[in-house]
Structure 1
Amino acid sequence: MNYDTRHNRRQAVVADDGRALPITTFEPADGEPRGVVLVVPAMATPSSYYAPFATHLAASGWRAVTFDYRGMGSRAEMKAETGDVDRWFADVRAILDVVADDADGLPVTWVGHSLGGQMVPFVEHTRLASVITVSAGDGHWRRNQPGVRWIAPVLWSVVAPLAIRVAGYYPGDRLKMIGDLPGGAMRQWARWCLHPEYLQADHPEAPALFAEVKAPMMSLSFTDDELMSADSIQHLHAWYSSAVIVRQRFSPEQLDGRRLGHHGYFRSANADLWDELVVPWLAG
């Protein structure tokens, strides 16, 4: 599909603490959008990773919005960042409010990749017409895939704290473990991943919050995900006890031998799967 990037626009959303949060909006080139899609990223994954997906949605008639979590820029930004994952939750709440206000009555769909699928209860989810989670599970290490299950406690308890102390941020790219992250976000995430009920380590109210989410939901996951096991994905979505959830889980054999893992779905080589597996579930 052809798409004119001149229709993209950048703006800043003001968080509740006054921080400017840049977002990028991909507008359809022709006509009014059919709906709005907010793409909420995975941990340590830049918004640029989702640009091909957002471009494709815009070319197909949807307005798509991408953003980075605060502190996810240069190493200097990461070293200077004092916020944690809860801070990101509050930021995304502000972003959703602006996106929903600008939608002017158009339906808003939340596409949450991994961490993005965990934070719906912490935003004003009544403004969402639908939710799509991609490779989203809970992060407790005992529910990780076997290949990382016994490495994870060492990462959270030993490697991450030492690396943050030395580098001033979590240098995941150099360690080849996850990706670069601000220290505060990594510390909080580590605490959650070591807790049997994950983010309930800091949010004992989480079950009640998840139960308040009533937007129709589709969970998309892949058997070759190197991080999230079927148990992890099931455990997270069981918390969404009031939502009607359609669960779609695919093996490489069902996808012409393609291995998507935890991040592969959003690669441009898999654009045919965007149309096949996500676009039919977009509100619009």
Structure 2
Amino acid sequence: MSNREIEIVAGGARLAAKFYPPSGPARAHLLLHGATGVPQFYYRNFAHWAASHGIGVLTYDYRDFGASQQGSLRQSRATMATWGIEDQAAAEATLCELAPEGPLWLLGHSIGGLMFPFRRHDSRVERIITIGSGFANFRDHPWSYLPIVLAFWFGVGPIATALAGYLPGRRILLGADLPAGVYWQWRRWCTKRDFFRSDTGKSLPEPDFSAPDVDVRIFTMKDDVVVPPVCVWRFADAFPAGSVKRTMLIPGDFGLKSLRHIQVLSKHSAAAWPAILGL
């Protein structure tokens, strides 16, 4: 079956989404919460592959980004918290409607995997997978990547955002265009040792890191320089010992030369996908 376009209503925003129905009997239905600055289009190969293995997939773009952008980014009031709380919750509610029966899985890529402790989930959610999700700090990156990080957080990134009224990522060759509120909050988290702690009780509710009652699988890639393994394990350490499963993906184990942070969910890395979904 071919994918179909869906619209998700998240408060006053309308999010562009695509649903990839499972081939044959459904093993589960999965919602993919994307990484910052990565449009849902990027995940299409992964979604088609999962659907061919009996796992329906819903992908979407956060408000004011990708196919969900409707007006000028300068007018956007979106923040990282808006994406992670309101948009993710609305997407999960939509998946429940699309798949009224059977198990549900959540897959969060990078920042998309950090927000699930802030929300309650449907009782049918049985598995939560995070890939490259961690409490990143600019001090944790290897020297080879540090110049890009310093430019993004302390150099041309904040200067360009202040001048343009949004992050002109494409123009400054540092990723995608993003709403200013998303960039500034993201910057605050990645330049503070306590990550999002300063926003809890304000734009974020208190997270629940007690032992989860679902199967939580936290993945990192050995060659990830964007969110290095130490950052991912810092996130895993927030949960009680033994309550989440940790896995480091090593490119050579899958006959690959690299997996990296974003590339892990591209067609290049398809050999690693069965391990990620536990197939």
Q: 1:208 to 1:184 in 2, by over 3 A?
A: closer
Aligned residue in 1 for 2:79: 84
SS at match of 2:108: strand
Residue in structure 1 matched with residue 149 of structure 2 by the alignment: 152
Shift of 1:15: 1.4
TM-score by length of 2: 0.88
- Counterparts of residues 193-272 of structure 1 (less than 5 Å): 193-203=190-200, 208-211=207-210, 213-241=212-240, 244-272=243-271
- 1:186 aligns with 183
Which amino acid is the alignment partner of residue 26 of structure 1?
Y
Specify whether residues 236 and 33 from structure 1 end up closer, same or farther in structure 2 by C-alpha distance, changes over 3 A only: same
The verdict on how the C-alpha distance between 1:37 and 1:112 changes in structure 2, with shifts beyond 3 A counting, is: same
Q: Does 1:39 align with 2:39?
A: no
1:223 and 1:59, CA in 2 relative to 1: closer, same or farther beyond 3 A? same
Partner SS for 1:25:
strand
Query: 1:172-221: CA deviations, max 9, x gaps?
Result: 22323243211110011111111111111211687752336432111221
Q: Could you tell me which residue of structure 1 aligns to residue 112 of structure 2?
A: 116
> Pick from 272, 279, 284: which aligns with 2:277?
279
> For residue 159 of structure 1, what is the amino acid of its counterpart?
V
Contact 2:17 2:60 in 1 (8 A): yes
The 3 A distance-change label for structure 1 pair 186 and 243 is farther
Aligned AA for 1:253?
A: G
Gaps of 5+ in 1: none
User: Deviations for 1:219-278, whole angstroms, at most 9, x for unmatched residues?
Assistant: 221111121222101111112337732221133333324211111111113223212x12
* TM-score for the superposition, normalised by structure 1: 0.86
Q: Give the unaligned 5+ runs of structure 2.
A: none
Aligned equivalents of 1:107 and 1:40: distance in 2? Answer: 17
Give the % identical residues: 26
SS in structure 2 opposite 1:172?
coil
1:165, distance to aligned residue in structure 2 (A):
2.5
Q: Distance in 2 between matches of 1:145 and 1:270?
A: 23
Structure-2 change in CA distance of 1:64 and 1:201 (3 Å): same
Match of 1:170 in 2: 167
Count of paired positions: 273
Contact 1:164-1:171 within 8 A present in 2 as well: yes
Indicate if the aligned counterparts of 2:222 and 2:251 stay in contact, CA closer than 8 A.
yes
Give 1:75 shift.
Answer: 9.6
Counterparts of 2:242 and 2:51 in 1: how far apart (Å)?
A: 28
Q: CA RMSD in A?
A: 2.4
Question: Aligned to 1:24, what secondary structure does the other structure show?
Answer: strand
Give the distance between the partners of 1:118 and 1:184, measured in 2 at CA: 18
- In structure 1, what is the equivalent of residue 15 of structure 2? 21
